Amino acid sequence: MVIELKNVHWKRQNKSILKNINWAVEEGEHWVLLGLNGSGKTTLLKMINGYIWPTTGEIRVLGKQFGKYPLGELRKIIGWVSTAMQEKLHGEEYTENIVLSGKFASPKLYHDPEQEDIDRALSLMEEYGLSGFIHRPYASLSQGEKQKVLIVRALMASPKLLILDEPCTGLDVFAREQLLETVEQLGKQKDAPTLIYVTHHIEEILPVFSKTLMLRQGEVFKTGRTEELVTESQLSDFFEAPLPKRAFYLSQCNHP
């Protein structure tokens, strides 16, 4: 199992934020974590990364049980991409150095990298269409370009699990489509890490994500095959409101 949560609860100031979470992700699966703002998605991600601890319940990530394995070591093989991460990076760094820093899970390069790491960074940048950004400051890139760089940066450490936390936030329609194409490209690779794509926009759910977890008010609403859950009736029940026709139409464009 890549992720295994059993009866996980998390409380803050006597308020239950996550309640009775049971979730299993197997190797080779790519999942969407779907939920509205305030549903507990970010809290769940922080727990999977070991930044917060369950009040009760058991967590295993990549076969390692929390409490019996150094979380610092575990985080080295978990990639996490989010818009908020951009604020932690040094914008004046060259883009290739931002990518290289992913090998060391640090916001910048503190040591001279090995030639092998340099070659891998340049190879990944070429593979994902970023060669044109070499020797360009990270701050000079567009929001969408920065997000693509963060994905490639995460791949530097050869993660077994890659979490994409609402990566399309703030992107225009063209940048969003380009980023989604990058995610689809990654997910189709034979040696791809297990992907967890977090969103509240159903139109971002790509065919590569065959499984979906629906999280509502801190509880698992349903888990299962995406094609069975991303339907008008299921989504209306999940959101507790009639689904806007335009949103459903756009989601079906990704799942003909």
CATH of residue 57: 3.40.50.300
Q: What are 222's strand-pairing partners?
A: 214
Whether residue 41 lies inside any domain: the answer is yes
C-alpha 182/C-alpha 205 separation (Å) is 13
Whether residue 124 lies inside any domain: the answer is no
pLDDT tens readout for residues 161-197: 999 999 999 899 999 999 999 999 999 998 899 999 9
- The band of 75, judged by pLDDT with boundaries at 50, 70 and 90, is confident
Per-residue pLDDT at 91: 83
Whether residue 251 lies inside any domain: the answer is yes
Percentage of the chain with pLDDT > 90? 69
Helices 143-155 and 173-187 meet at what angle, rounded to 10? 20
Cα 169–chain centre separation: 12
Whether residue 28 lies inside any domain: the answer is yes
Whether residue 50 lies inside any domain: the answer is yes
Expressed as residue numbers, the domain containing 219 is 1-77+199-256
C-alpha 168/C-alpha 180 separation (Å) is 8
The pTM assigned to this predicted structure is 0.91
C-alpha 165/C-alpha 127 separation (Å) is 22
pLDDT tens readout for residues 100-123: 999 887 777 877 889 999 999 999
C-alpha 227/C-alpha 2 separation (Å) is 22
Number of domains within the chain: 1
Per-residue pLDDT at 33: 97
Whether residue 107 lies inside any domain: the answer is no
Residue 240 burial by Cβ neighbours in a 10 Å radius (0-12, 13-18, 19+): exposed
Whether residue 26 lies inside any domain: the answer is yes
Whether residue 158 lies inside any domain: the answer is no
